[in-house]
């Protein structure tokens, strides 16, 4: 296989990790909303934790994106 084509395929596969990040972010927000609907008075206190979880989950997916960019541009 040509190197250029293999690089493109590899970068495409690496970006699949963002699907996991999508599932994770959706899960975090849905759990937060479920909890907040059940006990609205406690919702405000957990908002920083929501943001922290969102950022952590998003970052794990972005590691895959960095791998894709490294494959495309650094090699």
Partner 1 sequence: MATNPMAQFEVYRIGPEIKLGTIDISFTNSSLFMIISSLAILLIFNLGSKKNSLLPDKVQLLAELSYSFVSKMISDTAGSKAKPYFSFIFSLFMFVLFCNMFGMMPYSFTVTSHIIVTFVLAFFVFVGVTVIGFMKHGFGYLKLFVPSGVPALLLPLIVIIEIISYLSRPISLSVRLFANMLAGHTMMKVFGGFVISLGIVGGWLPLSFSVALTGLEFLVAFLQAYVFAILTCIYLNDALNLHH
Site residues for partner 1 per CB under 8 A: 48, 51-52, 54-56, 58-59, 62-63, 65-66, 69, 73
- Nearer to partner 1 by C-beta: 43 or 69? 69
Provide, rounded to whole angstroms, the least separation between the CB of residue 56 and partner 1.
Answer: 7
DSSP result, the chain: --HHHHHHHHHHHHHTHHHHHHHHHHHHHHHHHHHHHH-GGGTGGGHHHHHHHHHHHHHHHHHHHHHHHIIIII-
Provide, rounded to whole angstroms, the least separation between the CB of residue 75 and partner 1.
Answer: 14
- Nearer to partner 1 by C-beta: 10 or 54? 54
Query: How far, in Å, CA of 5 to CA of 71, rounded?
Result: 12
Provide, rounded to whole angstroms, the least separation between the CB of residue 69 and partner 1.
Answer: 7
């Amino acid at each position: 296989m040509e190197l250029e084509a293999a690089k493109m395929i590899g970068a495409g596969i690496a970006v699949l990790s963002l699907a996991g990040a999508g599932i994770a972010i959706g899960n975090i927000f849905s759990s937060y909303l479920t909890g907040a609907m059940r006990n609205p008075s406690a919702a405000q206190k957990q908002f920083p934790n929501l943001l922290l979880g969102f950022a952590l989950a998003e970052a794990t997916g972005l590691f895959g994106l960095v791998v894709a960019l490294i494959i495309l541009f650094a090699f």
